[in-house]
Structure 1
Amino acid sequence: MAKKLVAVFALAAMLFSLAALGFAQESTVKGNLAVTVSDPSGAVVSGATVTANGPTGERSLQTDAEGRALFQVLIPGYYSVRVGKEGFKTAEVRSAEVVTGRTSSVALKLELGTSATTIEVSASSVQVDTTSTAAGSNLTDTFYQSIPVGRGVTGLFYAAPGVASGGGTGTANPSIAGGTGLENNYVA
């Protein structure tokens, strides 16, 4: 009886471990989008509805007491972010970019008025991810087609920051951020 109970607990622990590993794998190939909402005076706006519309559809959140909303585990791509609250005009950013393994930031300032009026922000400033010290880049098909590299994808790696020749492992395995060429992890 005791052996069966131990076996059941061991099996349950193993299943939970595998589920956690699957979530960790997914979160490294996805990105986050942090939205901060303020009013014309710069004070934060809590309770505003923030909607992110992107490659996988639409998700909505409410801003917290500090005027922030965090969309987690998003597929990399461009998102349209819309913010609204009673007594304010609706604000929208159409090209908030979410990149792999990073938290992208969008700051929106709501103007006083009715929600029937929409304020569109046509360009957002480039945001620096202050929550991570990792160096990385997303190299797109358009970028790959516009630069003169060989037919292999490894030539493209050298365009990313922190990449050097792999030394003993050859040019097919570049050294990324000081690691050996054998420590690389490529996500396609």
Structure 2
Amino acid sequence: MSSTSAPFGFLASYHNSGQMRPKAYTVASTYAANIFSGDPVKLTDAGVVQLGSSDGTRAGTTDGITLLGIFAGCQYTDVLGKPTVSPFWPSGTTATDIIAWVLDDPETLFEVQYNNPSAGTTVQTAVGEECDWTVASPGGSTRTGLSNTNLTAIQATSGQFQITGFSGNINDSLTDAYVVATVRINEHAYKAAVNSI
């Protein structure tokens, strides 16, 4: 937790089994949006992965969008026949043999930065509340492949993520301006959503 905004996307942090394994999906060749490691993604009717926004781009909205999981990198064969492993999907890539790795288990917990709406006041009251995620451009680094998204403000009805707690770093405080929250995916493709507490 910190007084500095430094979002790092959604980072898998806990599962009851002790195992956090990504599952293989695919991205459509030439899909025109960067998907960074740590970005929420959805599954389309065509059975392919896209950003978890209304139109699958960073211009879309997140309200009411059911998520598949969190993107964890990809591999593909490029137009020159070169096998490529990447921590992010580069926008517009033409490729074959595309595998998109997604952490899709609805029981996985993730750490993500949450902007404290009342810095100086504890965010403990946000436990059990629900938020969506930010889709701002560019959304991450094409050098590291890592997302720089975070949580939005608490939603009035239901949100894509439910806050289950906060990071327990001894040097951090629940009154910091930018806290690290632990969340689970609430609006999940493989599990029914729950109501906000």
Please identify the structure whose Cα radius of gyration is greater.
1
Same fold (TM over 0.5): no
TM-score by length of 2: 0.20
TM-score by length of 1: 0.20
Structure with the bigger percentage of helix? 1
Higher relative contact order (CA 8 A, sep 6+): 2
